[in-house]
Amino acid sequence: MKFRVERDVLADAVAWTARALPLRPSAPVLAGLLIEAGPFDGADGLQLSTFDYETSARATLNADVSVEGRALVSGRLLADICRSLPNKPVEMSIDGPKVTLTCGSARFSLQTMPVEDYPTLPAMPEARGRVKSELFAHAVGQAVTAAGRDDMLPVLTGVRLELDGSAISMLATDRFRLSQRELEWDPSTPDLSAAALVPAKVLADTAKSLTGGSEISIALSASGTGEGIIGFEGSAGGGVRRTTTRLLDGEFPKVRSLFPSEHLTLARVDRAVLIDAVKRVALVAERNTAVQMAFGDGVLTLDAGSGEEAMASESIEAVIFGDDLTTGFNPQFLLDGLGALETPFVELAFTTAAKPVVLSGVDSLDGDSASVDSDFKYLLMPRRLLS
């Protein structure tokens, strides 16, 4: 194996591929990054790969290949080296049991790992359609806000991805909150109907990392064809980047019905003002206690703390429709939902004080003329208030 490649192209592709390396690999070879020099995607170049039996990442890039071959080296070490190289062409070749990397006057020698022990990467499943990369990354960023982080409940650490014709729906919940994000895409067949439970962390990282090209291709294994796999493909740096991950096992809870069909109290507030107020008041809230929110007479009053400890209170303007109401929420969960919105104002919709609130983006505080963003909804369970 011997090739020559531009430093920035190599460094970017190595960093992207190495991001999927496991922190604690179950076998030494899984800490490796596989370098293959030869014809890929119809042209001479390189393919860089990582795989930990759950998630795979592959990047192809243009390179001047003089000798085909492959080698397995430490992925994190190679990423650190490439990041530090001067802005000059990079040459790599196999020298016995080692790989030699030369860039200008810098020279490195890396020990290789046994290529024959490296697992075979899964094939990309069937492509199901394409979506704008920036739109997809933004939508995923909103959806994963409510995903669980408790590995004892693995089903709740995923995002349910539903493909229905030209619409994609994403649902996530950790039992205390629920997010729903809708967006349009271009399916391969107009009557497409499929669903997948994707690990939220992998989905978020993948969507964010594939914004270099204009579109992302989503690939999904057909139901009943063995192990469930989802794949994503995009372009960057003149090459192609592909990643796959195994789907989570288990039945995602039927959460759509949790969104109420009618509300007795609606409140609209300046989103930035509310975020700042919640942050200030929450400074005195003890761990696992709620910030109280009282709606009435055109004012939202926030309170936290107890009589024998520090206390805080703040009032902000609000446009309120319906009954007065007092409830309370986990301040961090509330801030997460407010932060996921992007409109200047937020609408909080209640049925009763003991039922969840639904947060939606709204473009003004006006009544019937206000436009509510229905693409993203965030439902949050109330917390018991201290008496």
Given a contact cutoff of 8 angstroms between Cβ atoms, the answer to whether 220 and 183 are in contact is no
pLDDT in tens, 25-72: 999 999 999 999 988 766 779 999 999 999 999 999 999 999 999 999
pLDDT in tens, 78-106: 999 999 999 999 999 998 899 999 999 99
pLDDT in tens, 188-229: 999 999 999 999 999 999 999 999 899 999 999 876 444 799
pLDDT at 42: 66
Region of poorest pLDDT, from 131-135, 185-189, 277-281, 371-375: 371-375
pLDDT at 119: 95
SS3 58: strand
Domains of the chain: 2-113 (3.10.150.10), 127-246 (3.10.150.10), 259-380 (3.10.150.10)
Classify the phi-psi angles of 277: left when phi > 0, otherwise alpha if psi is within -120 to 50, otherwise beta: alpha
Of 13, 21, 54, the C-alpha closest to 230 is: 54
pLDDT at 40: 76
